[in-house]
Amino acid sequence: MANDAFAVSDARPSAVSNGALADPFSPPADSSLWRKNFLLGAATASYQIEGAVNEDGRLPSIWDTFSAKPGKVLAGDTGAVACDHYHRWEADIELLASLGLEGYRLSIAWPRVMDAAGLPNRKGLDFYKRLLNRLKEKGITTSVTLYHWDLPQHLEDRGGWLNRDTAYRFADYADLMSRELAGTVDAWATLNEPWCSAYLGYGNGHHAPGLADGRFATQAMHHLLLAHGLAIPVLRANDPASQKGIVANIGRGTANSDSAADQRAAHLFEVQHNAWILDPLLKGAYPQDLFELWPGTEPLVLDGDMQTISAPLDFLGINYYFRTNVASDGAHGFRDVPLEGVERTQMGWEVHPDGLRDLLIGFNRTYRNLPPIYITENGMASDDKVIDGHVDDAQRISFLKRHLAAVDQAIKAGVDIRGYFLWSLMDNFEWAFGYERRFGVVHVDYSTQKRTVKRSAELVAKFLKERKAQA
Ligand code: IFM
């Protein structure tokens, strides 16, 4: 399974460009982003910010286990402390509100709220109740993801996402959370980025639980999507007023040449990155091309599963970061061909806003039932430093401006996009890359836990203030 962008290496990306100048951030006057009902917020995820992994009855997750294994995470980092958000949540919400951000996308740590017998852990639940109530008091729209990769380890010990039963345990968890938190959540997302959970977690082993087998990836994906499909009616029954959806990370694949083989390679790249998830959700079937790319990996699907998976959604969350240039691998697949001389981020990912626009417009053509879209993550990592109390993250400012312009172009081309969440509110534990890669619009000094608002966040706040002041 070839997809190199997530391979962990100590080597710094060779073509990082910080040459982009600090443009003023606010969009042009004709941009749809000036519409007051276009939600602008920021996102985080439980394991990446909370820390407190052994507190108040939280159980171990697969990321505690994985990050403790030597060589799995850069510099041996773990989420044990992270941004210490579990203790600093009040100040973090104050910060979010002070920036004028209108929405906050967070995730719940499953191992914090349920014990191994499926019974509620009151202390963990109370944390999220306090957090969500405070957000509501501040008038902030709340978007809650149930699963952002921190599977309880006791479920992994019974096969994790390879075990069909995990999908039913997820529905129980969704039931508990939506009964407990109904009324404080504006939008529920079942899963964050099932592609990463299945492909990186079970297909190539770059993420927890670290298994590497193509058949595992497709079976894990099927159970993840089944979990999503089982949870949707539960969420609808318990919390009818909220929106229900799922979040997918999408990837743009472009062909290295005009040759038919390279064009096919680019098509297959997008099949495994996008159609693998979106086709079952929106068409009720897996794309057959997927099994030409990965022969012999068809998952076990039981009667009725595809109907469960393709239940109607209120929204689709889209996470977008970069494009991948590919060529034919000479057989039935593709290989990455990194382009020279292009702008890249600290991750080595190419900055390519047109990819977001083109994918959104393409999905709108392909899926007649495409639900309203929220861009639930977009942003970039840079090696930000605090100098004299300030962080001048010029490349991020330019990155965000260009991606928001791409969103505006997609809206003008007819795609129903309702909002955009910055990834991320603050620097945090970037999975296999640990704390080195900084995605936040707020800088975190991990030795003191001091937060410093970066220039990008100041400019977003300025735009939001201007927009609010408009008649
Ligand atoms: O940090 C991650 C996030 O958890 C999921 N989407 C991509 C981000 C950047 O890699």
* Cα–Cα dist 253/269, whole Å: 6
Amino acid letter at 15?
A: A
Cα of 304 vs centre of ligand 1, distance in Å, is 32
- Asked whether residue 13 is assigned to any structural domain, the reply reads no
**Residue whose CA is closest, atom 10 of ligand 1?**
430
Examine residue 428 and state whether it is found in any structural domain, yes or no: yes
Residues whose CB is less than 8 angstroms from the CB of residue 342 and which lie 6 or more positions away in sequence, other chains included:
15, 350, 351, 352
Atom in ligand 1 nearest the alpha carbon of residue 377: 6
Which ligand 1 atom sits nearest the alpha carbon of residue 249?
Answer: 6
* pLDDT exceeds 50 at position 248: yes
> In the structure encoding, which two tokens stand for residue 363, read together?
């999905």
Tell whether ligand 1 has an atom less than 6 A from the beta carbon of residue 430. Answer: yes
- Helix (H) / strand (E) element for 420: namely strand 417-423
Q: Report whether 92 contacts 426 (CB < 8 A).
A: yes
The whole-number average pLDDT for the span 212-228 is 99
In a domain, 66, yes or no: yes
Mean pLDDT computed over 388-404: 98
First-last CA distance in the chain: 53
Least trusted range by pLDDT, from 17-26, 285-294, 340-349: 17-26
In this structure, is residue 205 part of a structural domain?
yes
Give the pLDDT confidence of 105-130 residue by residue, as tens digits: 999 999 999 999 999 999 999 999 99
Residue with tokens 């008038």: 139
393 CB near ligand 1 (under 6 Å)? no
Q: Which of 77, 145, 277, 377 to mutate to test the pocket of ligand 1 (most atoms within 8 A of CB)?
A: 377
pLDDT of residue 16: 35
Maximal C-alpha separation, the chain:
62
pLDDT of residue 19: 39
Residue 275 has pLDDT above 90, yes or no: yes
Residues with Cβ within 8 Å of residue 134, at least 6 apart in sequence: 89, 90, 93
Does the beta carbon of 45 lie inside 6 Å of ligand 1? yes
Cα of 430 vs centre of ligand 1, distance in Å, is 7
What confidence score (pLDDT) does residue 297 get?
Answer: 98
Nearest to 464 by CA among 21, 93, 42, 23: 42
Tokens of 368: 């007649």
The Cβ-side half-sphere exposure at 446, using a 13 Å CA radius, reads: 20
Q: Name the residue with tokens 């159609």.
A: 275
Residue 43's pLDDT is 99
Element (H, E) at 175: helix 165-181
Averaged over 367-390, what is the pLDDT? Answer: 98
Residue 380 lies in a domain: yes
Q: What is the mean pLDDT of the chain?
A: 95
Amino acid identity of residue 442, one-letter, is V
Q: 97 φ, ψ to 5°?
A: -70, -35
- Per-residue pLDDT at 149 exceeds 50: yes
Q: pLDDT band at residue 24, thresholds of 50, 70 and 90?
A: confident
Model pLDDT, residue 9: 44
Cβ atoms of residues 378 and 431 within 8 Å: no
pLDDT more than 70, % of the chain: 95
Residue 252 neighbours by CB distance under 10 Å: 24
pLDDT on residue 471: 76
pLDDT category of residue 8 using cuts at 50, 70 and 90:
low
423 lines ligand 1 (CB under 6 A): yes
**Distance of alpha carbon 293 from alpha carbon 123, whole angstroms:** 46
Among residues 282, 178, 280, 148, the alpha carbon closest in space to that of 223 is found at 280
Residues 152, 110 contacting (CB under 8 angstroms): yes
Residue 302 in tokens: 């039981």
The answer to whether the beta carbons of residues 228 and 195 sit under 8 Å apart is no
The stretch 347-367 carries a mean pLDDT of: 98
User: Is a pLDDT exceeding 90 seen at residue 78?
Assistant: yes
Residue 95's alpha-carbon distances to 48, 98, 138, 173, in angstroms, are 18, 5, 11, 30
Which domain does 123 fall in, by range?
Answer: 33-469
Residue type for position 363: F
CATH number at residue 364: 3.20.20.80
Within a domain: residue 6? no
Cα(434) to centroid(ligand 1), Å: 12
| 22 within domain boundaries | no
Q: Is the dihedral of CA 218, 219, 220, 221 positive or negative?
A: positive
Average pLDDT of span 192-210: 98
Regarding the beta carbon of 427 and ligand 1, being less than 6 Å apart is answered: no
Would the CB of 145 count as within 6 Å of ligand 1?
no
Q: 11 pLDDT exceeds 50?
A: no
Structural domains of the chain, count: 1
Lowest model confidence (mean pLDDT) among 17-31, 122-136, 182-196: 17-31
Is the per-residue pLDDT at 276 higher than 70? yes
Supply the residues annotated as catalytic. Answer: 193, 377
Q: How many helices (H) and strands (E) does the chain have?
A: 16, 11
Q: Is residue 258 part of a domain?
A: yes
For residue 347, which atom of ligand 1 is closest to its CA?
A: 10
Which residue owns the Cα nearest ligand 1 atom 4?
Answer: 45
pLDDT at 151: 99
